[in-house]
């Protein structure tokens, strides 16, 4: 069974902390994505990566960075967490060009609370 | 730019009622269109898709037709069940990109 696994389901951090959200996929996908999901705003793309060590900004990259050192792992980093980063974070992956089956595979999400 | 607009929820229905969730889009070129569903406590999963005009996507009794003339991709189901209660997201993938742009989501609540 194909999987996108996010390391934590719930996370509570304090303002100013450096936060790492980890995502691993086992489908050998080239593309990986980080979205945040907020009520009334839907899913907004933070960063995505087309390949190892490659990254591109999405629609709301401010306050975030990412790392993709290995093909299967894509990390989202909050350099100095703030309360407005309290959200549900969703990781997703897909094959390049959606060549095989034209869809994103999502993890179950990490609910981050910044106090 | 590219965008997706879908109706606000929640949509509240009785079991076996007819469902329509509206979705319209703005995009250059010829996008692919998707409906994703998120059940409580889970990530999103693909419900159906259409990759060109007049295509009809269908799955689990849900249908949506890609209407280029009205730039719409409305989701329909003839008879909803309690188990269909979830949040539904319309999305597009613009031509020549791997990024998906999502709408704001519509919560569906079905009561027995």
3-state secondary structure B19-67: EEECEEEECCCCCEEEEEEECCCCCEEEEEEECCCCCEEEECCEEEECE
Contact yes or no for A110/A6 (Cβ under 8 A):
yes
Best mutation target, B90, B99, B105, to test chain A (most A CBs within 10 A): B99
Interface residues from chain A to B (CB-CB < 8 Å): 4, 31, 33, 35, 40-45, 48, 50, 58, 90, 92, 94, 96-98, 102-104, 106-109
Interval B68-78 mean pLDDT:
96
Contact yes or no for B19/B77 (Cβ under 8 A):
yes
Interval A4-22 mean pLDDT:
95
> Residue A77: CB partners within 8 Å, gap ≥ 6?
A18, A19, A20, A21, A64, A65, A66, A67
What CA–CA distance (Å, rounded) separates A86 from A95?
Answer: 29
CA B2 to chain centre: 16
Q: Which DSSP letter does residue B72 get?
A: B
**pLDDT at residue B105 tops 80:** yes
- Per-residue confidence (pLDDT) for residue A100, from 0 to 100: 47
Contact yes or no for A49/A57 (Cβ under 8 A):
no
pLDDT digits (tens, 9 = 90+) for B41-55: 888 999 999 988 999
**pLDDT at residue A88 tops 90:** yes
- Per-residue confidence (pLDDT) for residue B1, from 0 to 100: 82
pLDDT digits (tens, 9 = 90+) for A24-76: 999 999 999 999 999 888 899 999 999 998 999 999 999 999 999 999 999 99
pLDDT band at B8 (very low <50, low <70, confident <90, very high): confident
Interval B11-18 mean pLDDT:
97
């Amino acid at each position: 069974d194909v999987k996108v696994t996010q390391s934590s389901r719930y996370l509570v951090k304090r303002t100013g902390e450096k936060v790492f959200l980890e995502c691993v996929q086992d489908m050998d996908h080239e593309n990986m994505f980080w979205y945040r999901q907020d009520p009334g705003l839907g899913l907004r793309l933070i960063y995505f990566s087309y390949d190892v060590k490659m990254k591109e900004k999405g629609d709301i990259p401010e306050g975030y960075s990412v790392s993709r050192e290995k093909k299967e792992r894509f990390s989202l980093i909050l350099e100095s967490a703030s309360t407005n980063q309290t959200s549900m974070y969703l990781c997703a992956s897909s094959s390049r060009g959606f060549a095989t089956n034209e869809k994103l595979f999502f993890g179950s999400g990490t609910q981050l609370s910044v106090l | 730019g590219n965008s997706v607009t879908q109706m606000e929820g929640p949509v509240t229905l009785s079991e076996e009622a007819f469902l329509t969730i509206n979705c319209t889009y703005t995009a250059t070129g010829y996008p692919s269109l998707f409906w994703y569903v998120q059940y409580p406590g889970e990530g999103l999963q693909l419900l159906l898709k259409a990759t060109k005009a007049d295509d009809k996507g269908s799955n689990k009794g849900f249908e949506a037709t890609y209407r280029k003339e009205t730039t719409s991709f409305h989701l329909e189901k003839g008879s909803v069940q309690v188990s269909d209660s979830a949040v539904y997201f319309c999305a597009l993938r613009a031509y020549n990109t791997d990024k998906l742009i999502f709408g704001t989501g519509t919560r569906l609540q079905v009561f027995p």
